[in-house]
Amino acid sequence: MPSSRIFSGIQPSGELHIGNYLGAVKNWVALQRQYESFFCIVDYHAITVPYEPEDLRRRTRDMAVSLIASGIDPSACTLFVQSAVPEHTELAWIFNTVTPLGELERQTQFKDKSGRQESIFAGILNYPVLQAADILLYKADLVPVGEDQVQHLELSREIARRWNTRFSPGYAAHAADDESKRSEATSPETGMPAGPSADAAEVQGFFPEPKPLLTPTRRIMGLDGKAKMSKSLGNTVGLVEDPKDVWEKLRPAVTDPARVRRTDPGTPEVCNIYQLHKAFSPPETVDHVAVQCRTAGWGCIECKKVLFENMESELAPIRARVSDIRADEPKLDRILADGAEKARSVARATIAEAKVLMGLA
């Protein structure tokens, strides 16, 4: 069994689009056999905004279908829905008691939304606390994230430190002693504090401080070239969209603004279509695309046609698997139920021990 454990979650936004497929799920597929993996459809996180209950049920199920069709293997990882494991919210309340309000108010997402909305729900403020509970409930060592999510993970690490300082036996004294040794040590080259040595043992508490496992794919921009690919902005390509609809979206997609005329040379690095080539096309094609762009050997439509063909090579099998999964709804029910039970067996043990350490049991 892999020695390290990872946790990652995704909101139930319905069927995947290529942005979250390339930015997260494709990486999960590669990681699921390298680490003990817990992948969660985080439906509690989805209820901080107005929604229709039946729509949420549909979107949660569609997300599960998309994940499995994309290569998430329930026999190689634990796939489950967050609300099927009530220990998530129990641990979130526990963590609320050790999390300073100021830390939550400084989170980028909260500042952004509170600045744009006259009235904001407490769930938006506490969102990162539940996120910390999601991760730490399974004592995950690593969390696959994009660069824009590192701030929330750092808060999870801070919450783990605060809880450990109060309740993990010996943690506070060990941490203080370790910090003292680090501050007293000096570098022979500079005379300045040397920091922790490479072989220094990390202070371990009941909850580990999860580290980021940065996703190799850069943030996927929407077809408008203005913002991250998002359904709310209408700039996405669905993972299981009909090929004709995909091409109708791809054909007018924004490219290098310097290429006004067919004969204008471009800079592939600033072109969103080139970034999608890097995600879907073979390396030799990516190199050829770059040359054709810089020399105006191809027009943008020609470049997009090649991209479309390579996208189809990857997406067509996923569409076929979606049809197969939807044809056997009871099997999907069993997969999610089995995943939830497996997750709960870990979650129950974590909560039981944490409550003993806190004097709650």
Residue 226 appears among annotated catalytic residues: no
Coil/strand/helix, residue 220? coil
d(CA 353, CA 199): 30
Task: Single out the catalytic residue among 211, 228, 278, 305.
Answer: 228
Task: Single out the catalytic residue among 139, 211, 231, 355.
Answer: 231
Residue 26 appears among annotated catalytic residues: no
C-beta neighbour count of 64 within 10 angstroms: 23
d(CA 80, CA 7): 11
Residues forming beta bridges with residue 81, ordered by sequence position:
41
Instruction: Characterise 48 by phi-psi region: left (phi > 0), alpha (psi -120 to 50), beta (else).
Output: alpha
Structure token pair of residue 22: 């390339």
On whether the CB atoms of residues 130 and 88 are closer than 8 A, the answer is yes
Q: Which of 130, 141, 136 is nearest to 34 (CA)?
A: 141
Residues forming beta bridges with residue 213, ordered by sequence position:
144
What's the start-to-end Cα distance of the chain, in Å? Answer: 32
Q: Where are the alpha helices (DSSP H) in 10-121?
A: 18-20, 26-31, 53-69, 87-96, 101-105, 108-116
Cα 301 off chain centre by:
32
Instruction: Count how many residues are written for the chain.
Output: 361
Mind giving me the DSSP string for 84-95? G-THHHHHHHHH
Residue 231 appears among annotated catalytic residues: yes
d(CA 124, CA 85): 21
On whether the CB atoms of residues 194 and 126 are closer than 8 A, the answer is no
Structure token pair of residue 319: 């569409």
On whether the CB atoms of residues 87 and 351 are closer than 8 A, the answer is yes
- What are the residue numbers of the active site? 113, 228, 231
